[in-house]
Copies of this chain bind each other. A is one copy, B any other.
C-alpha cells in the first residue's frame, strides 16, 4: 500500500496537513526497548518548521502523543502508535488551489487519483508535514542502531549549486547549519534568503552515511540495499534522485578506476576506496553506506505562475499564498537519516533470521 512500509518492521503513516492529527503505527520494534524520548524530540526538532529565517513560519510543537505500544516507558510488543495534533492550521489559505493546481505540487495529480475527493488543504496527505511521522519511526530506529554501534549521519552537500567542502565523517546535526564547511554553509544560506526575498525557492543535495553497519545486510535483486533505501527515500516529498557511492560519476569511469580493491585492515576485510557506497551486489560490505539525494526546489513559491483552472478547463494565473519554505533541504536532512535508519535497521532484523 502507498502510505505503508511492510518489511521486518512495518508502519503506516496517516494524516493530512489539516486533519485533526497526523501519525504513525509501527509493528516489529523490539519489546523491552526503552526509547530516549528526549533524544527523539531533539531529532524531531531538526525537521520541525518555524525554526529560523530559512524555513516556513508555520509552527507545530511536534511533541508526539503515544496512544499505544508503551508500558512503563518501554515498548510492550503491541503496535506503537503516535500522533501529532494539527493545531496551527489556516485552511483558508488553500481554497484557490482546489481549482488552480500549483505547478510542481501534487494538487492536480491527487485530484485525478482520488476523483476530486482528496483533501487539498495544505497539500493534504502529500504535505511535507507527513515526514514528521517518518521521523518518529526513523528516530527510534536510529536509537536502536546506535545500541548496535551503527551511526547514521548526514549533511547538506549542495544548495542552489553551492557545494559543501570536505568529507562527511561525523554528524553535523548539532551545528546551526548541517554542513562540514561552515563557509560553504553561509553561502548556501545567503542563496536561500536571496531566493526567499524574491518569493522563490532553491533545491539541493543531501548526503547520508551509515557507519558501522556489518557486512552481510541486504540481498540480491529487489532486496538490495539500494532498492530498500531508495524506496523509502523517495517517500520524502521533493526527492527526485538518489545515487549510491560514486553514483552518476561511476558511469563515467573505467572499471579499473571504479572498482574498490579489497585489503586487510586490523584483521578485517575492507576496501581501499568506497566508490560502491558500501554496497556490493545489494549487500553491505562493512564500509560506510553512502548515498546522495537530490531535492528539488520547493514548488510552492510566491512568484506568479501559469496553471489551469480545472473548473473552466482553461489557462489561468496563480500566485500562491500560505507560508512555505524557501528551501526544504535543511528540514529534509533528518528525514533522509530517518529513511536510511529504517532501511538499515530492517535489514539488521532480517539478518537475525539468517543467523540461528
With a CB–CB cut-off of 8 A, which chain B residues contact A151?
A: none
A283 near B106 with CB under 8 A, answer: yes
**Chain A at the B interface: SS class:** mixed
Instruction: Give 5 A-B contacts (CB < 8 Å), ordered by A residue.
Output: A2-B224, A4-B6, A15-B79, A109-B282, A112-B283
Q: Which of A45-53, A54-62, A167-175, A235-243 contacts B (4 or more CB under 8 A)?
A: A235-243
With a CB–CB cut-off of 8 A, which chain B residues contact A204?
A: 251
B14 near A258 with CB under 8 A, answer: no
A220 near B117 with CB under 8 A, answer: no
In the complex, what residue of chain B is closest to A162 when comparing beta carbons? B252
A255 near B200 with CB under 8 A, answer: yes
With a CB–CB cut-off of 8 A, which chain B residues contact A221?
A: 2-3, 13, 130, 235
**How many angstroms between the C-alpha atoms of A130 and B221 in the bound complex?**
9
The number of chain A residues with a CB under 8 A from chain B is 152
Interface residue? A337 (CB, 8 A):
no
With a CB–CB cut-off of 8 A, which chain B residues contact A118?
A: 31, 71, 76-78
- One digit per residue, 1 when the CB lies within 8 angstroms of any chain B CB and 0 when it does not, for chain A 71-95 equals 1001111111101000000000000
- 20 new A-B contacts, CB < 8 A, other than A103-B259, A115-B354, A241-B250, are A1-B10, A1-B223, A13-B79, A19-B70, A19-B71, A74-B117, A108-B280, A109-B282, A203-B250, A222-B235, A224-B234, A241-B244, A253-B297, A255-B299, A256-B301, A258-B296, A261-B305, A262-B307, A352-B352, A353-B353
